[in-house]
Amino acid sequence: MFKTLANYSGVAFLKLLSILPYRVLVALGYGIGFIASYIPSDRNGVVKTNLHLCFPELSTSEIDTLSKQHWRLLGRSLVEKSIIWLGSTKQLSEMIEVQSEVDLSDRKPRILVNMHFTGIEGSIILSALAKEKAWPRTSGFFQRMKSPFFNRKIVEWRNRFGGNSIDRQGNSLEILREIRKGSFIIIAPDIDLGVKDSAFVPFFDIQTNTITAVSRLAKISGAEVCMMVTSLKPDESGYLCTISKPLQHFPSDDPMADTARLNLIFEKEIRLRPAEYYWVHKRFKNRPFNEASPY
C-alpha cells in the first residue's frame, strides 16, 4: 500500500513540475544540482573519477569546478524530464529546437546516433512533431528500470505521441523491422551495458567497453547513420537538437573500427561542452584483461 501511494505521489509531483513556468522549473533544477554537488555520495565520486580519467591535464580544483557545473546541468535535466515525459507538443517545441541536415520526411532507412549529454531525452521532440511534419514514428531501445511501475509509466509517456520504445533485451529483429519501414531509429551507444556484443575501443585514450550495435545494424539493414546531438543553447534558454548528414563510408567491414570511430566523434563533441556530458555513469566499470575498476 505504501509503495503504491509513493509511486502515485511521484507521478503527481512530476505533473506539478510539468506545469510550472519554464524559468521556475529551470531555476529549481539548478538549485537541486547545486545542492547535490556538495553532498558526498557514490555518484559524486563517479563524476570526479571520470573527469580525472578523461581530462588528466586538469588540476584538482579545475575538476571540482567542472564537476559542479555538471551537477548544475544534471539537476536541470532531471526536473525537465517532467516536460519530456508529460509535457505537451507546445511545451516541447518551446523547449527544444530541431535542425537537420537531412530530409527527415524522406523515410530512408536511417539510424540516429545519440549520445548521453544531459539533454539526451530531447529526442522526443521528433516524436512530438511527427504528425505535424509528416515524419515517421520514432523507435529506440530503452533500458529497464528497477521499478516495474515507473518502467511501465515511462515507456507509456515516451510513446504518447506514437513512438515505439523497444526493450533492449533481445529485440534486434524488431529494430531491424523499424529501420526498414523508415522509422527514426535512435541509439545511444556511449554506455557500458556489459561485455556481450561489445568491444574495448578507445574513448579519451582509454580502452572502453562499448556496444557495437550501430555498426552491425547499419550493415544488416543498409541504413544511413547520422549523428544526433541535443545540447543546451548558449543562452541556456532551451535545447538544440541537431542531426548531421550521414557518416561517409559507414559502416565498414570492421564493427570494432566503426565503434572506435563513433567514440572519437563523441569525444570531440564532449570536449566542446564537457559539463553537459553524463559523467554520473560508470563508463569505465568493465575493464579489459580483468583490470581493476577505477570506481
Check: CB of residue 200 under 8 Å from CB of residue 86.
no
Q: Phi, psi (5° rounding) for residue 169?
A: -80, 105
- Per-residue pLDDT of the chain (295 residues), as tens digits, is 667 787 778 889 999 999 999 999 999 999 999 999 999 999 999 999 999 999 999 999 999 999 999 999 999 999 999 999 999 999 999 999 999 999 999 999 999 999 999 998 888 999 999 999 999 988 877 777 778 888 888 889 999 998 888 776 656 788 888 888 888 889 999 999 889 889 999 999 999 999 999 999 999 999 999 999 999 999 999 999 999 999 999 999 999 999 999 999 999 999 999 999 999 999 999 999 989 999 9
Question: What DSSP letter does each residue of 62-101 carry, written as one string?
Answer: HHHHHHHHHHHHHHHHHHHHHHHHH--HHHHHHHEEEEES
Check: CB of residue 142 under 8 Å from CB of residue 175.
no
The residue written with cell numbers 537538437 in the block is 241
Q: Where are the domains of the chain?
A: 89-290
